[in-house]
Amino acid sequence: MSGKLSPGIIVILTLLAAFILAAAGADLLAHNDPLRQSLLMRLRPPGTFTATTSYPLGTDDLGRDLLARILYGARASLMVATLSVSVSLVVGTVVGLLAGWFRGWIEIVSMRLVDSVLSIPAILLAILTVAVLGPGFLTLVLVLGLTRWPRYTRVAYAQTLQVVTLPYIRAAEMAGCGPVRILLRHVLPNIAGPLIVVATSEFGLMILFEAGLSFLGLGVQPPYPSWGSIMAAGRQYVQRAWWLTVFPGVALFVLVLCVNLFGDWLRDSLDPRSLSR
């Protein structure tokens, strides 16, 4: 890797770390329970103080602390994105590796499958599946994971095709190494780079998808917070209680921004010929 750690990338990495810590440590950081309602404290502005506690970012339409909900909402965004990207990455890479190594009918079937899945309008399928199987964390991860894997397969397949022509792979084959060992030990490390690049750009996209689906009411269900559903609920009060739209939106925007910038930096580091910067 030849990336230099400029001050810019350090800032981004710090921010990303902050998000992850906030999500992981939400229990400690939030001094209010994100699920605790207080019907008398509905729609209070940021900086509201009471005798017992404070609401630095204000409250929502059920009197729940917005800061606490945003911290816990970070969990939803990060976990859904991480898990769905992991699922797609694993499934996609496996299919691509197998197609690129074995060729023949495995290759044909895989590529047809890839084209078919790519031609499914993902968001409609997501909406349908979620609306029918019932919204929920697991359904969301599955739907997002299973509609995005072809993007990894294409890269894995193309890269595998290149790598298998390398001399030392041939040598390993002739030495009697089984295909699994070769794929895992020798091919995979070589194709990891581009795959990671895809994964990081997909990560940002999955965060946006989760927010969008939660916004439509099909993602993380109440009362558990998700940035998208906080903003959906806040739409009704967009003029009176602007904080319900602004703060979660800023959090979402900054997170995705950092993820995208990190992805760009990673791409540059892994491939000096890359023209993205």
Least distance from C-beta 147 to other proteins, angstroms? 11
Q: Which is nearer to other proteins, 71 or 213 (CB)?
A: 213
Estimate the share of the chain in helix, then strand, then coil, as percent rounded to the nearest 5.
70, 0, 25
Q: Which is nearer to other proteins, 92 or 135 (CB)?
A: 135
Phi-psi region of 136 (alpha: psi -120 to 50; beta: other; left: phi over 0): left
CB contact at 8 A, 129 and 139: yes
Q: Which is nearer to other proteins, 29 or 158 (CB)?
A: 158
- Three-state SS at 160: helix
Q: Which is nearer to other proteins, 172 or 201 (CB)?
A: 201
Give the burial class of 156: count Cβ atoms within 10 A of its Cβ; 0-12 exposed, 13-18 middle, 19 or more buried: buried
Question: Which residue from 57, 27, 1, 116 is spatially nearest to 234, judged by alpha carbons?
Answer: 57
Q: Which is nearer to other proteins, 14 or 236 (CB)?
A: 236
User: Which residue ranges make up the site for other proteins (CB under 8 A)?
Assistant: 37, 39-40, 42-43, 61-62, 111-112, 115-116, 118-125, 127-129, 131-135, 158, 204, 208, 211-212, 215-217, 221-223, 228, 231, 235-240, 242, 245, 249, 252-253, 256-257, 260-261, 275-276
| C-alpha distances out from residue 97 to 30, 46, 89, Å | 44, 52, 12
Least distance from C-beta 68 to other proteins, angstroms? 15
Question: Which residue from 204, 214, 209 is spatially nearest to 235, judged by alpha carbons?
Answer: 214
